[in-house]
Amino acid sequence: MTAEASLDGLIRCGWSEGSQLYRDYHDQEWGRPLHGDDALFERMCLEAFQSGLAWITILRKRPAFRAAFEGFSIERVAAFGDADVERLMADPGIVRNRAKIEASVHNARVARDLGASLDTLLWSYAPAPRKRPRSLSDVPAVTAESTALAKELKRRGFKFVGPTTAYALMQATGMVDDHIADCWVNVSTR
């Protein structure tokens, strides 16, 4: 699948044409450089929750996720206890997967205790800029950088961030620009 012209005449990556929510996410967020510990923590959590599900599910539930996880504040989520996990398990607005919920709370504690910025850690694995892919079939699911990032995150104690999830995080936060070559979105990495 390559970039496709939309009804508005703009050429976008083919995956973004499923709904207005997808288009808005593609046009305004995906692949744009994102910085800030809490903002990156949110994306890390959402990418983990997405595992095994369609991304549209996460986009639809994103406002509820933000409310349930108190804006993905690392400090606030790190303070969650068993009652909070049960509250989240009872929340129909989010994906109620105990392992992913517990991993998000655990990961907040790891991020809080890093002794360094989560932003600095994640962006240190961003590869050098490269040419945009010609088609979606040219976009990898895993790279050497995402494998190295996942290994480092695991070494530090993070959960639910394997090489594929790490690469999706890199794509979503602009560490790599995987917009198809003909796509109208123009982003600069870093």
pLDDT of 9-30, one tens digit each?
899 999 998 899 999 999 999 9
Q: Which residue has the higher pLDDT, 116 or 190?
A: 116
Whole-angstrom Cα distance, residue 140 to residue 148?
15
pLDDT-based confidence at residue 152 (cuts at 50, 70, 90): very high
Whole-angstrom Cα distance, residue 92 to residue 113?
30
Residue numbering of the annotated binding site: 13, 26, 179, 183
The CATH code for residues 20-173 is 1.10.340.30
Query: How confident is the model at residue 18, as a pLDDT?
Result: 81
Query: How confident is the model at residue 8, as a pLDDT?
Result: 81
Mean pLDDT across the chain: 94
- The identity of residue 162, as a single letter, is G
Average pLDDT over residues 148-157: 98
3-state class percentages of the chain: helix first, strand second, coil last, to nearest 5: 55, 5, 40
Quick check: 51 pLDDT over 60? yes
Active site residues: 25, 47, 55
Residue numbering of the annotated binding site for Zn(2+): 13, 26, 179, 183
- Rg for the chain (alpha carbons), in Å? 17
pLDDT-based confidence at residue 1 (cuts at 50, 70, 90): very low
Q: Which residues contact 187 (CB under 8 A, 6 or more apart)?
A: 31, 32, 33, 174, 177, 179
